[in-house]
Each structure stands twice: as C-alpha cells, then as structure tokens.
C-alpha cells in the first residue's frame, strides 16, 4: 500500500493533516496494478471546505477510472453537490435525513453587541408568539447564566447540558416535552434526535461555528410538517460564520424585520 500511494498529495505527514478524513483503500493488485479502489469520505461537508478541498481533488487524480467513491455527510452544502457533479458518475443518493431540513423554517438574524443580547432576547419574547422555544448557547456556563437571566425576567425556563446527571436531563426533557415550561436553554447536546412538536421558535443566542451544527439546531423547529422560526443573534465576530453557513447550506438568512407575521411560524 505504501508503494501504491507513493507521491500522492496526502503521503507521509500530510495525510495526518486531515483529521476529519476517513479514506480507506481496498487494493486488489493484479500484475502490480490497482484493479479496484473504494474511497470513503466521512463528513464530506468538512472535507470539502476550502482548507481541504484542493488536497482532496489532487487525491482523486491518483485514483483509477474504475474508482468508486462513497461520501457521507450530515449536510448537503453547495460544495458537496459540486464535487458530486464533477467526480461521481451516475451517483446513487441515499437520504436518511428527510426530516432534518430548512424547509418551512424562516430564518432571521439580529446584529447585536454581546452586551445587548439579553435585552434583544427579552424583546423577542415580548413580540413573538412562542408555543415553545429552544435557545442555544455555546458553553455550559453560558447556558446556566442565561437560564437564570430569563427566569429573572419573569419567563418560565428550563436548562439542559451535558454536565448534568442523566436522570436529571431525562426529567427536564420529559417535563419540557409535556409542556411544563415554555423555554429551554441548552448546549448542542440537544441538537440531534430530539423531536418536540410544540417547538416553533429556535434562537441561537450564541451563533454556531459550522453549518452542520446550525442545521441541527434550527431543525428543532418546524417538525412534523409545522412551520418554524429561527432567530440568530449575530455579533461582529460572527459575521464571517454567518456568510459561510449561508453559502454552505445554500440558504439565505435575512435581517430581522420590525414585525414578524405569525403566519410564517405558527401553524
């Protein structure tokens, strides 16, 4: 295998510069030639980011024409689609995430300073028709601090994060799902496999760093064919992530208007 990979762009130490890459070669050697190569790309959305895509495309040039490429991705941004169109011949697409989509979810951003976030959140609570909301923070400490602030503002609020005991997390989730509380503050622990029909608003108090996390967070609203609303509190430092996530997901996140029609997120 070392001889077969000699000279390719990911040889030696450079191969270890792709921590998100799982590339497995099953080599059948016939008369010293590679007869078949299967390549697995795990987390293809990450691999085809600007940092890694040039090396991936160079790697493709070293594969025989009989290659088979398998790509696995939690999201399907434009970069993955373009790569598929260029390098995969008659691809077969298996979509196991039909339920996780931005369809039916209206997305807005509010440009704020960090110190204005709680005030902005209070304004959203007063103006939006919230059945239930999930509010995401990027750290355990910020989850607990924000939940305390929301309670002090007079709104019902639970919180959940990975450092809580499992029994405690289960109890909070059960109570929130049963409608005991209107608002839940959490970390990304709560982004996957959680379906609560009453949630119609998701607020990114802290904006996520990547498109996969954004999709999973926002996908908590608009479940079961219902409409949903996602509001992102964007600071100056978040502006580049906002643009990048829009590009990767092929979506548009508009500036929040003075008035939001309930018809776009209450159904």
pLDDT band at 223 (very low <50, low <70, confident <90, very high): low
63-72, 182-191, 250-259 — which one is most confidently predicted on average? 250-259
Number of other CB atoms surrounding residue 3 within 10 Å: 7
Burial of 177 (0-12, 13-18, 19+ CB in 10 A): middle
- pLDDT over 90 (residue 195): no
CB distance 215 to 209 below 8 Å: no
Asked whether residue 100 is assigned to any structural domain, the reply reads: no
- pLDDT over 70 (residue 169): yes
- pLDDT over 50 (residue 231): yes
pLDDT band at 55 (very low <50, low <70, confident <90, very high): confident
Tokens describing residue 173? 């989730």
Q: What is the residue-averaged pLDDT of the chain?
A: 82
Indicate whether 31 and 121 sit together in one domain. no
Higher pLDDT, 75 or 189: 189
Which residues contact residue 148 at a Cβ distance below 8 angstroms, ignoring those fewer than 6 apart? none
Indicate whether 61 and 173 sit together in one domain. no
Q: Look at residue 193 in the predicted model and tell me its pLDDT.
A: 58
Across 138-145, average pLDDT: 96
- pLDDT over 60 (residue 4): no
The Cα–Cα gap between 242 and 252 comes to 10
Q: Look at residue 161 in the predicted model and tell me its pLDDT.
A: 92
Portion of the chain with pLDDT greater than 90, in percent: 47
Of 183, 40, 51, nearest to 125 by C-alpha is 183
Asked whether residue 99 is assigned to any structural domain, the reply reads: no
- pLDDT over 90 (residue 182): yes
pLDDT band at 100 (very low <50, low <70, confident <90, very high): low
pLDDT band at 191 (very low <50, low <70, confident <90, very high): low
pLDDT band at 39 (very low <50, low <70, confident <90, very high): confident
Query: Which has the minimum average pLDDT: 77-81, 84-88, 161-165?
Result: 77-81
Number of other CB atoms surrounding residue 236 within 10 Å: 10
Indicate whether 163 and 55 sit together in one domain. no
Domain end (from 87, 116, 136):
87
pLDDT band at 81 (very low <50, low <70, confident <90, very high): confident
Asked whether residue 94 is assigned to any structural domain, the reply reads: no
Indicate whether 120 and 22 sit together in one domain. no
Higher pLDDT, 7 or 260: 260
Asked whether residue 97 is assigned to any structural domain, the reply reads: no
CB distance 73 to 45 below 8 Å: yes
Report the phi/psi class of residue 73: left, alpha or beta, with left for phi > 0 and alpha for psi in -120 to 50.
Answer: beta
Bridge partners (DSSP) listed for residue 72: 42
- Residues spanned by the domain of 190: 105-264
Q: How far is CA 183 from the centre of its chain?
A: 21
Asked whether residue 126 is assigned to any structural domain, the reply reads: yes
pLDDT band at 136 (very low <50, low <70, confident <90, very high): very high
Indicate whether 47 and 127 sit together in one domain. no
pTM check: above 0.85: no
Indicate whether 225 and 182 sit together in one domain. yes
Q: Look at residue 259 in the predicted model and tell me its pLDDT.
A: 93
Domain CATH for 158: 3.40.50.300
Count of domains forming the chain: 2
- Residue positions counted in the chain: 267
Bridge partners (DSSP) listed for residue 199: 132
């Amino acid at each position: 295998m070392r001889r077969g990979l000699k000279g390719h762009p990911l040889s030696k130490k450079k191969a270890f510069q792709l921590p998100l890459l799982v590339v497995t070669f099953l080599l059948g050697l016939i008369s010293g030639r590679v007869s078949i190569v299967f390549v697995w790309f795990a987390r293809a959305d990450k691999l085809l980011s600007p940092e890694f895509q040039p090396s991936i495309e160079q790697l493709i040039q070293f594969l025989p024409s009989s290659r088979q490429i398998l790509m696995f991705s939690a999201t399907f941004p434009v970069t993955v689609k373009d790569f598929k169109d260029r390098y995969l011949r008659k691809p077969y697409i298996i979509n196991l995430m039909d339920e996780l989509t931005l369809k039916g979810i209206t997305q807005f951003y509010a440009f704020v300073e960090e110190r204005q976030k709680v005030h902005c959140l209070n304004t959203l609570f007063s103006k939006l028709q919230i059945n239930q909301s999930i509010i995401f923070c990027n750290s355990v400490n910020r989850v607990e601090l924000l939940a305390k602030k929301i309670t002090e503002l007079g709104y019902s609020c639970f919180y959940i994060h990975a450092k809580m005991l499992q029994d405690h997390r289960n109890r909070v989730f059960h109570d929130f799902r049963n409608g005991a509380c209107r608002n839940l503050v959490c970390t990304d622990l709560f982004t996957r496999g959680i379906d609560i029909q009453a949630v119609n608003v998701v607020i990114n108090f802290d904006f996520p760093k990547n498109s996969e996390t954004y999709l999973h967070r926002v996908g908590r609203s608009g479940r079961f064919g219902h409409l949903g609303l996602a509001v992102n509190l964007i600071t100056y430092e978040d502006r580049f992530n906002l643009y990048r996530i829009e590009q990767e997901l092929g979506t548009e996140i508009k500036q929040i208007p003075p008035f939001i029609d309930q018809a776009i997120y209450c159904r």
